[in-house]
Structure 1
Amino acid sequence: MTQPPSVAGWAQALTTALAATAGEATLAAGRHLLRDGGAPLNVTQGFAISKFQLPDARVVRPRLVVTELSTTQWDRIDAAIMALPDAAIVAGTTAISDEFINPHLTAGVPLIPASEDISYTCTCSTGETTPCPHSAAVGLLLTERLRTTPALLFTLRGRPHQHLKKRLNATSARPARQEPSALESPPAGATQPLPLAAAPGAAAQLAIPDPVDLDLTPLTPAHALPQPPPAPLPDLQELNTVAADAAHRAQMLLDGGELHISRDTPSDIARLTMLPHGAHFRPAAMEYLSLDVVSMGHLQLAYTYGGPAGATAYLETFPVEHEVLAQAQAAIQPLRPASMATVEWEDNRLTDQAGGVQLRYGLDARWHPYRAPFGIWQPVQGADADPAQAYRAARSTQVRGRTPKK
């Protein structure tokens, strides 16, 4: 495995597994649902979720559930991959080689789930007990995503690829430079260099020149295109924004800042429109996301306080395991000012109307706190993996207003 890794096989392997569980007819119906595109996909440990709007305007939320691998199994997989001489090339980026479809390269533990490791759920009437076109479509969305980012399969199976990537980065230090042995003869025709001490002018060659001040003021930035590009390319303003955004991200990395990677369009829109070079897209963004001025401001707050996952938690709802919500309610119970009042559960949202606090579980496994000072839930600072800490953060936020809307 010395060539750049091929990733095409991941999608085909998962499609085969889906066909064994959902059947070709159901997969065909799922493809029909996706013919117009636009369906969102969120992948987290153990499941992938999406949503579809039915002809009667109802929204259904299908989910593809996959058995997670154990810690022992993941440790075996990581050890097997790291033992490969070119592990950093074939598994060190999100483009993981599809040769790892073969369990012989992953310590006998298959990364592609078997048919018994796949199940489906959906909030539609037919998706409660059997695979439906909506849940099959989630699997198809995932297969398409694997064509470019097979690392998502690691997250789905229980351990994000970042875990392996960090280990590879820590062990991929450059080897020490090997000096030629004194017994080795130089190749025929090669010129053997003189020893440093005997080389004429050696001291002058090793001298480091003084730094030179460059005046870059009159130079034109590279992204300032002189004239509009021809169709069908994006217009000049859009291309300039893309270039400015790339420069902004590069500067953040050079300054040692943290670069949040948005994997969905809405959260990246929130990030871009908060920056000077993207502010002029705010009206178009509001129209694209169907948000008013207040809601757009709340979306940007959600991104500011919680990053991409915070923005997604503001815009989207998705099912969360009953045990997760139950444990969160138990954690916040001692902190509630009205302990006998009802706590409402809905998808990934836990709402304490009496306490004026709502917690939204995000794809980053953190609870994002909300208050409603003017009758509309709005994000506040303090996202935390511990629901009690997020609840405390919300309660400590000084707000005034009417009773929050249900």
Structure 2
Amino acid sequence: MQSLIAIAVVVFALVFVVPLIVASFLRNVEAGTIRLVSWLHGGTVIYRGPGKSKEIPLLTTGTTISSKVINVDLDITDQTADLDDAGVPRPIKVRILASAIVSVGDTDALIKTAANRFFSKTDADQLNTLTDLLSSSGRRAINLLTHDQLFSAKTAPTVRALPAPMPSTALAARQSVEVIPSAHDAVMAVEDDDDPLAVIIRKACSRELTDLGLIFNSLNIKVVQSEVAEARRRQSAAEAQANAEIVAATQTRRAREAQLEAERVISDKQRELEQTRAANAALIAQAEAKKQEALGVQRVAELDATQIAQARADAERVRIEAQAAAEAEAIRIKTIAAAQAESIEKVNAAIAAGGESYFRYRQIEMLPQIAPAIAGALAEAKLVTISSDGKGAADSTTNNITGVIQTVLAAQLVARGGLVEGNGIPPVSAPNVSLPPVPDRPVTRK
């Protein structure tokens, strides 16, 4: 039984007691923390995490501080160091919104100082201390810079000599803190490319931060506000807007010019196309006109040929008809002449058969018709002396009248006797009896 108890005690000691003893001697140092272990004789050993720290509960005292960076937001409002042309101060009120980053120093001395002077305060006091320190340094930096230098990161500032800061504590007056060459070289390396405000703030607050065991890492200036800057910003915005509008107007004008040029080219091409079409149409119309003219000439020739053929046919027909009519008329005239001759022969034969008595009888019947004409002619006649063949004028006149009467009688006998009608020939009308005109002047013939 005793052996079991001893074994249990040994196991318990190995499982629980030994780890507790080891944990009390070897403590964990987390990442982002620094462990300060002070021994009884006054020495201090610093352990940076992550790692282990050697401690003896009765002989050492340990303190853990944070090695992480501290971010401090700054809102600084002050006036610049601007001067007018006459050298009279013309300060400009500016407001700066920035963010500063500080951290614990790298050396053991700075770590001990930070543990004693900074991390011994509460978190609120730590933040207020850093804010006041950095804000005061920022105000002094603003008072040393002009307005243009604040808004130009590449302008080399003309920095006035900073007044030597007064020691804030008795401890700061008694001891001086050594700055390691590596940190100083790093600060000088970035000063050439850093913002003038950040450079001045770094220089102004480096001693105060060193007194607290901290170092200045960087300053991020978020916004620099001022009425002048706002006016310039509005002016720049207006100029940029005007330039943008000018560029847009130029681009629009160029686009419009390009469009007009394209439209002009298209119009020229269309005009050339229309001219080509018009020329082709004119050529086609000219060819069509020539074709129509040729067709017209052909039609005229065909019409002329047709008309000539028709005219020739008509002329031939008319000639044939005229010839036929002439032949028919000649035959008719010959027939009529033959009939008249035959009728005259028959009349003469009838007269010869009837004797002189019939002829006399007919002369007496025609006297009422002939006598007025003869009387009128003799009444209008003047003295006419006719001498022929030894006969007197009375005999000649009587013979002429007798011949006329015989001719008229023969014609009337033919017309009335129906000698010609019996042969199918139309009757011939008797000619009107007219006496020859009597000359106005007497003519004597021998």
Q: TM-score range by the shorter chain?
A: under 0.3
- Structure with max Cα Rg: 2
Provide TM-score, normalisation by structure 2.
0.18
Which TM-score applies when normalising by structure 1? 0.20
